[in-house]
Amino acid sequence: MDISSLSPQQQQLLLQQLSSGDLGGATGQMGLELAGLLGEKTRAYQSATEPFVRGAQDLLYKHVPSKMGGISPAAMRMAGSGAFRGAMRALPALGAVGGVLGAADILAGPDSGWNKGMDTVAMGIGGALGAAGGPLGIAAGAGAGKMLSDATQWLLGDKMTTQEKDQRIMREALLALQNRGIA
């Protein structure tokens, strides 16, 4: 909530309440404004994720047939439930968080240049595949791409933790110093 979005009368009333020490009235009004703003953002997020939710529902309808043919009543109940819709609404946000964390790992992580390059390419491919879902889809796809890249590197590479890698580097450095007669 930005104070400049209030009308001059609302700004004056807020200043009067604050200067008179009536914090209850002032904070109550600000709380109402904040709740209204939160409601607007929630509605915007719901409308942004609605195509994803409907797509997941359509997949259930198409791929879970009933024994008699047509759509399974259990699939219809599940796809229409609030828990399913809520879970489907949360997935793009979780994917977006994964995309942001993946980018931070590439920028600030201790991995090699080749590892970072592979992660970057995987995030780019994932983001391109998720582009149909808009900005949230791009971020979710990038997060999934980074996750697959990390899993591939772990499966095909050495399975050491960062601490084990650091210990190996220290042992190699000590060995090199000993070979030179320094240590």
Cα–Cα distance, 174 to 168 (Å, whole number): 10
Q: Residue type at 25?
A: G
**How many CA atoms within 13 Å lie on the side-chain side of 159?**
3
User: For residue 15, is it within any domain?
Assistant: no
pLDDT, one tens digit per residue, over 9-24 is 877 777 777 666 655 5
- Total domains, the chain: 1
pLDDT, one tens digit per residue, over 25-81 is 555 666 666 666 676 777 887 887 888 888 888 888 787 777 777 777 888 888 888
Give the DSSP letter of residue 4: G
Instruction: Say if pTM beats, i.e. exceeds, 0.85.
Output: no
User: For residue 109, is it within any domain?
Assistant: yes
User: For residue 85, is it within any domain?
Assistant: no
Task: Supply the mean pLDDT for the chain.
Answer: 79
Find the domain containing 105 and state its range: 91-183
User: For residue 39, is it within any domain?
Assistant: no
Cα–Cα distance, 128 to 139 (Å, whole number): 10
User: For residue 32, is it within any domain?
Assistant: no
Cα–Cα distance, 65 to 74 (Å, whole number): 10
User: For residue 116, is it within any domain?
Assistant: yes
User: For residue 36, is it within any domain?
Assistant: no
